[in-house]
Structure 1
Amino acid sequence: MKREHLLWLLTTNAGAAPLLQWGQGSNFHFAGLRFGMDGNFKISVFEDLHFGEPADVGGPIADLRTIGVMNTILDVEPPNLVVLNGDLITCENVATANVSDYIDQIVEPLKSRNIPWASTYGNHDMSKTCSTRVMAEREQAVGGKLAWTKMMVDGEYNEVGTSNYYVPIYASSGGGNPRLAMLLWFFDSKGGRAYQQTDPDGEDVPVADYVDQKVVDWFNLEKRAIAQQHPNQPIPSLAFVHIPIHATWTFQHGPNMNSATEPGINEDNIGHQGISCDALGKNCYWNKKDTPFMKSLAATEDLMAVFSGHDHGDDWCMKWASISGNEPPNGNSIHLCFGRHTGYGGYSDWTRGARQIVVHEDSLRGGEREVETWIRLEDGKISGHVVLNETYGMDRYPPVEKTTSAPISGEGKGQAV
């Protein structure tokens, strides 16, 4: 047995995920993770956990049930990485002093299994009492090498947010100096309320709900720098952002949405980036502020899929090709996916679950850009198993059964959106 394989087995048997420290990559000197010895990289995505709901709507019981969902799914679907894709906490209900305790609860199922994780932050993670930068610091403090959540874009908090960064994924072979095989991009779509700020009337200050231009500029610069290091070798990638882009709403309300070709629950009207409303919170419209981000995504060579949450009752995927009434109209055939509500905090009675993503290293080496994905439900069943490839959107799949979770006994339900 090769020494490389022996060391790998020793770490994986101990529950550790193979990782590389800064400077170990053969031609890309950044810390990262790597494909497993089985040639796969698997991600479990937990969406909208919504810890910290008030007690009068069952918050403490909801948090315990959410931990139960996470434990069940992690036992059935052990991943190489967990993505906490926004709205970890319903922060408008949480005192500043309690934020760290909620982060500790959320990551404990991951720490106990030695599973790395990476977070994006959502609109409910930003409030007058919660700073996502404090949350990221807590993740690092309690997670150490398991916590990959970072802030790579400097800027004013209300503009750029926090969770803008990437994680390199290296090849399974190559010993201590493997080649860069894939990138995972993470973006902060913000929203919510400004930290410790009020307006002259004493009201909370809203934060814009889209990926900022400064973040887009950083994304474009990083892509160019990576491309210069890998000439004639585009690096496949996946992206994660809590609030979906407007293209998903256009597709949902267009003529091509089909439960046979885009299987999944479709029970929520999509709330996308770049929404403006009048002073009463009515008469809302798309302000097109996410257009630069959409254009940059569409121009990203070998970006295979973008995964979002936010809308608790949606878990389908679409191929972003030509969409009229959207900017840009051509999404370069990127796949856009939702993952249904994982947490028991927040609204919904749909059965909880988490999106599973598997990328096969052999397919990337062969030039195929294929992602296998499904929803693992809390009852152990699989929903909406699809393959995101060139023919997705034409391939036909069995219908997805709509199921519901039992309500929290005697406590009602949270209302966060």
Structure 2
Amino acid sequence: MKREHFLWLLSTTANVSAAPMLISGRENGDLFFSLDSKFRISVFEDLHFGEDEWTDWAPEQDRKTVQVINSILDKEHVDLAVLNGDLVTGENLYLENGTHYIDLMVAPLVNRSIPWASAYGNHDIDINSSSRALMEREKAIGRNLSHTNSMVKGKEAEVGTSNYYLPVYLSGRKSIELLLWFFDSKGGWAYQDRTSEGLKVPTADYVNEEVVKWFSETKKAIRDQEKRVIPSLAFVHIPVYATADFQDAGIDPKKEPGINEEVLGVQGNKCVNKGRDKNGNDEKDCHYAGGDTPFMKELVATEGLLAVFSGHDHRVDWCMKWTATKPLPHTDPSTGNDIHLCLGRHTGYGGYAGEIPRGARQILVRQQNLREKSVETWIRLEDGSVSGHVVLNTTYGQDSYTAEQTSHDGAWDDAKARG
């Protein structure tokens, strides 16, 4: 990053309006439900800081992304922000200072003392971009605000970095009420690694089997310790193949409201470097090979898992129910134990999206509704409006939503949230 660009960006993003003064969901660095028995998450997808950073317009693009984050945080009370992949455009970064984009993207969170957690994506790892270096920068800046972690040992290009879980406690006592799982779907190119021909080395774009093993063993250990099933949510940047299979069958805009203007890219591909294009850029040749099947099977086997949230594709933001009533013909497993799979709105001005307004998915978990397997979610747009406001519950996928319902501004009352 050019030093003058970085200093200009910092100066233009330092002054932010104050967040609403509401009850905090944090105590002593841990995550807690607020005293109103709610836990609120804002999911920022595909920020793509540093895209084409050598140009004169790149800093303005990043400034606009910070503005989107600020506008959403001015509207939403947030107990945890999730940076759900492609925080940066790693192929455009310089080795010596690419991690400094973390300073810009988390400034709105630091200024409001909002904790955050990251799940890295395919653009976060490249020849000059290390997801582990990004995590260390998060920790250096965030102190007790950054909850990003790495709980699975192994090489960055194989297991990734952001594989971990966070407990959310009931306010006032150390009783775990909710688990948040984070997974690294990788992709991109291996950090500081080239073939003997000088080509970059592609990394697999799915959750590694060692991570799946860790997930299985950790779930069992928590279940044995707590003597009960704890409801959970999961975050992974690249969506699993089940979403593409569902999309192929046809999205009903009344039952699965949201934008659907792009064919989904999913986990599970086998990729090779096919050489360089006419501009000297390394190119991949990829085809789906079922690499995410172990991960999908483990998700389905997870008792209490309510929903999985992904990004990656910038022109889609609907949710689906992975259910036995609508089996997926090309997916293993074909049915998903009624897990909801949700795609998020593109947040950043880096990366493609055209004229689609930027925004972020909001998640509202009401403690009393967890027993009913109910979670509320909507998209908060950069202009302050709301779209795709739905309740992920036992009847999602059967219920029909009107445009008025899905654009309702603010949280619904408890009766509506229960469906």
TM-score band by shorter chain is 0.7 to 0.9
In structure 2, the CA distance between the partners of 1:146 and 1:56, relative to structure 1 (3 Å rule), is: same
Q: Alignment length, in residue pairs? A: 375
The residue matched to 2:337 in structure 1 has which SS? strand
Q: Could you tell me how far apart the structure 2 residues matched to 1:245 and 1:399 are?
A: 28
**Is 1:369 the counterpart of 2:373 in the alignment?**
yes
- Which residue matches 2:27? 19
The offset of 1:277, in angstroms, is 5.0
- Which residue matches 1:352? 358
The residue type equivalent to 1:18 in the other structure is R
The residue type equivalent to 1:44 in the other structure is S
The offset of 1:268, in angstroms, is 1.3
The residue matched to 1:124 in structure 2 has which SS? coil
The residue matched to 2:103 in structure 1 has which SS? helix
Give yes or no for contact 2:165–2:182 (8 Å, CA) kept in 1: yes
In structure 2, the CA distance between the partners of 1:283 and 1:340, relative to structure 1 (3 Å rule), is: same
1:70-81 paired onto structure 2 within 5 Å: 70-81=69-80
Q: Choose from 243, 246, 261 the match for 2:255.
A: 261
Q: Deviations over 1:15-55 (max 9, x none)?
A: 8641356xxxxxxxxxx311001111000000000000114
Q: Could you tell me how far apart the structure 2 residues matched to 1:151 and 1:73 are?
A: 28
Give yes or no for contact 1:15–1:114 (8 Å, CA) kept in 2: no
The offset of 1:78, in angstroms, is 2.1
The residue type equivalent to 1:47 in the other structure is E
Q: Could you tell me how far apart the structure 1 residues matched to 2:379 and 2:162 are?
A: 24
Q: Could you tell me how far apart the structure 2 residues matched to 1:311 and 1:59 are?
A: 21
The residue type equivalent to 1:382 in the other structure is V
The offset of 1:393, in angstroms, is 0.1
The residue matched to 2:59 in structure 1 has which SS? helix
In structure 2, the CA distance between the partners of 1:141 and 1:278, relative to structure 1 (3 Å rule), is: closer
**Is 1:333 the counterpart of 2:338 in the alignment?**
yes
The offset of 1:59, in angstroms, is 1.7
Q: Could you tell me how far apart the structure 2 residues matched to 1:60 and 1:140 are?
A: 24
Give yes or no for contact 2:46–2:85 (8 Å, CA) kept in 1: yes
Q: Could you tell me how far apart the structure 2 residues matched to 1:339 and 1:286 are?
A: 22
1:8-407 paired onto structure 2 within 5 Å: 17-20=25-28, 32-54=30-52, 55-56=54-55, 58-172=57-171, 175=172, 177-231=173-227, 233-255=228-250, 257-277=251-271, 280=274, 284-321=286-323, 322-349=327-354, 350-364=356-370, 367-399=371-403
The offset of 1:184, in angstroms, is 0.2
Structure 1 residue runs of 5 or longer lacking an equivalent are 1-11, 22-31, 402-417
TM-score between the two structures when normalised by the length of structure 2: 0.86
Q: Could you tell me how far apart the structure 2 residues matched to 1:278 and 1:158 are?
A: 14
Q: Could you tell me how far apart the structure 2 residues matched to 1:57 and 1:187 are?
A: 35
Q: Deviations over 1:283-330 (max 9, x none)?
A: 743100100000000000010000000000010000011212111111
Give yes or no for contact 1:17–1:115 (8 Å, CA) kept in 2: no
Percentage of identical aligned residues: 54
Give yes or no for contact 1:20–1:34 (8 Å, CA) kept in 2: no
In structure 2, the CA distance between the partners of 1:268 and 1:226, relative to structure 1 (3 Å rule), is: same
Give yes or no for contact 1:15–1:113 (8 Å, CA) kept in 2: no
The offset of 1:148, in angstroms, is 0.1
CA RMSD of aligned residues (A): 2.1
The offset of 1:96, in angstroms, is 1.6
Q: Could you tell me how far apart the structure 1 residues matched to 2:269 and 2:157 are?
A: 16
